[in-house]
């Protein structure tokens, strides 16, 4: 509860949630950069193959946060299935 009140760039908050430490400007710049790469890619012969489309660059900490969220979701699904008696 106390960590919620800390500034975004505090050491404690960054340690708890590294992905939350990025500013709005960092997210906007990443989106602008991705849009530029997509625009340039769309004007090439490679654009016919959609598998070569540019992908978003992960900011530091986002990949770990995503993995944690997936793990938590899987654990919640298992708990819910156990409660409902749906476990195989």
In the numeric block, which tokens belong to residue 10? 């505090």
Q: Are 27 and 60 in contact (CB under 8 A)?
A: no
User: What's the full length of the chain, in residues?
Assistant: 88
Q: Are 64 and 18 in contact (CB under 8 A)?
A: yes
Q: Are 34 and 57 in contact (CB under 8 A)?
A: yes
Tokens 């890619």 found at: 41
The 3-state DSSP class for residue 53 equals coil
- Which mean pLDDT values do the consecutive 10-residue runs of the chain (88 residues) have? 75 74 84 93 87 85 82 91 82
The 3-state DSSP class for residue 87 equals coil
- Check residue 23 and give its pLDDT: 79
pTM above 0.85, yes or no: no
- Check residue 73 and give its pLDDT: 92
């Amino acid at each position: 509860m106390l960590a919620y009140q800390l500034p975004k760039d505090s050491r404690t908050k960054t340690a708890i949630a590294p992905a939350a430490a990025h500013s709005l400007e960092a997210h906007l710049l990443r989106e602008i950069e991705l849009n530029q790469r997509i625009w340039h890619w769309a004007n090439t012969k490679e654009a016919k193959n959609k598998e070569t489309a540019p992908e978003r660059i992960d900011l530091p900490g986002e990949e770990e946060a995503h993995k944690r969220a997936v793990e938590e979701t899987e654990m919640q699904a298992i708990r819910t299935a156990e409660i409902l008696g749906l476990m195989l």
